[in-house]
Amino acid sequence: MDIKIADILDPACICLNMEAKDKVSALNQMVDLLALNGKVHDRATLATVILDRERLMSTGIGNGVALPHGKTNVVDRSMAALATLRTPIDFDALDDKPVSIILLLVGTEGNVGVHLRLLSRISRMVGSEQFRTSLLNTKSIENVMTLLGTHEEERA
């Protein structure tokens, strides 16, 4: 069974025009989106996993996109949170450009294959300038879900 982004991204975990002053505050807000929506058994552990992974190497993959991710047992299944930022922030990205789209992916310790497939799929999606522009111009969470669904179908 092929898992899709739309399957792991709860609309409640999408934040449009998020205010964040820096990378750490943005990542904490992303973790909060998952934690507040009952998806995480231990918010502090998840935050540590994500921030430690980020310290290892920036997940700012270029073109204004960050793809923070981690694997932990404080979640029962793969899940994601997505934010567009009101003001782009420095994320130590590979291309040194500020980030305005953040897609946080959290996987379970035991399901590395699914985690890697999802990371690869997300990378391909956000690699499309059309997708990034559409996402940044989207005004509603419903439209984000439609955009993700449409884009995944095209690339399937």
**Quick one: which of 85, 90, 125 has its CA closest to 105?**
125
Q: Which residues pair with 101 in a beta bridge?
A: 65, 84
Average pLDDT, rounded, for the chain = 92
How far is Cα of residue 96 from the mean position of the Cα atoms in its chain?
Answer: 19
Token pair listed for 59: 């997940």
Token pair listed for 87: 């003001």
- CATH 3.40.930.10: does it fit domain 5-151? yes
Q: What is the pLDDT of residue 38?
A: 79
**Quick one: which of 111, 100, 106, 32 has its CA closest to 75?**
106
Higher per-residue pLDDT: 40 or 152: 40
Q: Is pTM, for the whole model, over 0.75? A: yes
Sign of CA dihedral 9, 3, 149, 138: positive
Q: What is the pLDDT of residue 155?
A: 56
CA distance linking residue 55 with residue 82, whole number of Å:
20
Predicted confidence (pLDDT) at residue 1 exceeds the cutoff of 60: no
pLDDT tens, residue by residue, 85-124: 999 999 999 999 999 999 999 999 888 788 888 888 888 8
Q: Where are the domains of the chain?
A: 5-151
Helix (H) or strand (E) holding 27: helix 23-36
